[in-house]
Structure 1
């Protein structure tokens, strides 16, 4: 028996993915979080999920048995498990009657897994956590959550957060954007455990690069301010129903172009109650200014 879909509700937490959605395009955030529109499976994203599953399962084996041949051999079985948990993925290769495209796709997953062995040595790693779900509530009430690919702890107690990427490393000018997710996780770990991770590490299997960053408290405080500013913008958009599209070159990959006003579409009827501008102004008038910056919208970088 299929469970009934959950009724629309205001956002209650923030993850790195959804924060990035809002920064990329507020209307995309609305489609995914408020309207809960389904996303079409893609070969690239699904391959990423498959590779992550293989690298997670490899650590089930004793250290000496964590070899490249063993990892490659895990790919077909993990693909079968993924299909069983998400039958809709069969759509990806529905027209591949001869199986050639699927075979090539699986071979590429195997190549990505094998490349990992040139970047890290799993025989010398003993992760304390894999695919670790983390969640914390800040003093403001903002709830943060996410899933960390791997957490290592050195004998000295230092924490390293590791994330696998199946794409290529970004150009230097985009490095800060790439690190946002990792700083998000570092903030959650800091607020949960009271420990600032010693190192954040992004492993890019598509290009064979490793990006590292050693955060300090000031970094995490800046991220916290940025997230509060984002959450305030999300709260305002939720109340008003004003989710403005932000056209970029990424629009070409969006699943929801036919619903976007920028491309002549019409979004679904907004499913949440809207607070009228007059009501918000009345409430603000009753509360009065709350500081020197009252009435000035916060910028996403927290400044």
Structure 2
């Protein structure tokens, strides 16, 4: 039985293919984003503050020295800085400010009794142990009035709105686990420390909200476990991904990205995209030549699709452009007056489904088939009278080649 974590669930939501690489194929990478590296160093300082709190209180200078030591000790050449305008030193100095602001606000760190640092918490989602999660709480406190606080440190440079945090999954899941730890857990507050802004965000959850969260999380786990094809999801997070050399959206870019100009331009994929882009521009400029250009574009499109299939990619890079190959299903319904159409209408009537597609509205019927709105047995019967074909297309867009 797989025991999930919040980060594992989020990985699937962000990109199913990256989830597969990391958690199923277990392809581990040494690369680490500078933001994550900074976050780890800040967490180490917080751990030192609160773990040693019963014995001593560190001065700001001592904590900054420790931060510097841990930074130097752990820094490696696989730390990636996505923002080209920044250097590692910029992030290190930013971390020092985070620590200074935190100490100024919370020293002598006696706001509550510390019950755990990096405390393991187990969450039983269904009460039967079939769906379980584990997590690690940055800091678990109990205030003087008996309230438990689940603390989480965030070094993000983006400050979320209260409404978003009131729906946050991670700490609410941890609350479910904490409630089962001791008999006196009656009141729990979730606390996020957004240290880049020297700001706390606090939130509470009702039992009704936690019940909904349990169900939604179980549904997500079921979706993960029933997934057969883990597809890539292109978002802004791709800039921090360590699997570009395996991802069909970025594999070709990774292959040709660091080639010198003379070799880059000789790559077949680059040449195909360049030709496609040039002809596409020509099509816009010379309307009279559209018919001939379209023929050439179609030939290049077929060539680039074949090239992409052979290479196992979905994006092919050119000098200033890239082509993304996509597949879609085209549903063809029997034409008017045909026997097949009459049989299909009769079948829908027999199944009491004719009115659900507005007495045979073709667009509605296609939507029902595409979105699988009816039982599979019914859809299988309907598909005997329709033709479903896979259509491949290409989408051209600008690309910025890294120097």
**TM-score, length-scaled by structure 2:** 0.54
- Of 63, 71, 78 in structure 1, the residue corresponding to residue 63 of structure 2 is 71
| Mapped pair 1:44 → 2:35 | yes
Residue aligning to 2:44: 53
> How far off its partner does 1:33 sit?
0.4
Q: Distance in 1 between matches of 2:186 and 2:53?
A: 30
| Mapped pair 1:257 → 2:241 | no
Equivalent residues in 2 for 1:148-163, closer than 5 Å:
148-163=137-152
Q: CA, structure 1 residues 44+29, in 2 after alignment: closer, same or farther (shift >3 Å)? A: same
Q: Distance in 2 between matches of 1:295 and 1:252?
A: 40
Residue aligning to 1:279: none
> How far off its partner does 1:38 sit?
2.1
Q: Does the Cα contact within 8 Å between 2:41 and 2:71 map onto a contact in 1? A: yes
Q: Distance in 2 between matches of 1:227 and 1:203?
A: 25
Name structure 2 gaps, 5 residues minimum: 81-86, 253-311, 314-373, 377-403
Q: CA, structure 1 residues 35+169, in 2 after alignment: closer, same or farther (shift >3 Å)? A: same
> How far off its partner does 1:119 sit?
4.0
Q: Distance in 2 between matches of 1:46 and 1:173?
A: 26
Residue aligning to 1:142: 131
Q: 1:193-221 CA distances to partner (integer Å, 9 max, x unpaired)?
A: 46355210000111222111012211211
Q: Distance in 1 between matches of 2:146 and 2:243?
A: 45
SS of structure 2 residue aligned to 1:220: helix
Query: What is the Cα-based RMSD across aligned positions, in Å?
Result: 3.1
Q: 1:221-251 CA distances to partner (integer Å, 9 max, x unpaired)?
A: 12111110111011102xx3x1122222222
SS of structure 1 residue aligned to 2:136: strand
Equivalent residues in 2 for 1:14-53, closer than 5 Å:
14-39=4-29, 40-53=31-44
| Mapped pair 1:184 → 2:173 | yes
Count residues in correspondence: 246
Q: Distance in 2 between matches of 1:121 and 1:219?
A: 34
> How far off its partner does 1:41 sit?
1.4
Q: Does the Cα contact within 8 Å between 2:123 and 2:173 map onto a contact in 1? A: no
Larger radius of gyration: 2
Q: CA, structure 1 residues 68+187, in 2 after alignment: closer, same or farther (shift >3 Å)? A: same
| Mapped pair 1:227 → 2:217 | yes
| Mapped pair 1:131 → 2:118 | yes
Q: Distance in 1 between matches of 2:116 and 2:247?
A: 40
Q: CA, structure 1 residues 68+145, in 2 after alignment: closer, same or farther (shift >3 Å)? A: same
Residue aligning to 1:244: 231
**TM-score, length-scaled by structure 1:** 0.71
Return 155-164 or 49-58, whichever deviates more. 155-164
Name structure 1 gaps, 5 residues minimum: 1-10, 84-88, 95-100, 268-293, 297-303
SS of structure 2 residue aligned to 1:182: helix
Greater relative contact order: 1 or 2 (C-alpha under 8 angstroms, separation 6 or more)?
1
Q: Does the Cα contact within 8 Å between 2:37 and 2:79 map onto a contact in 1? A: no
SS of structure 2 residue aligned to 1:124: coil
Residue aligning to 1:90: 76
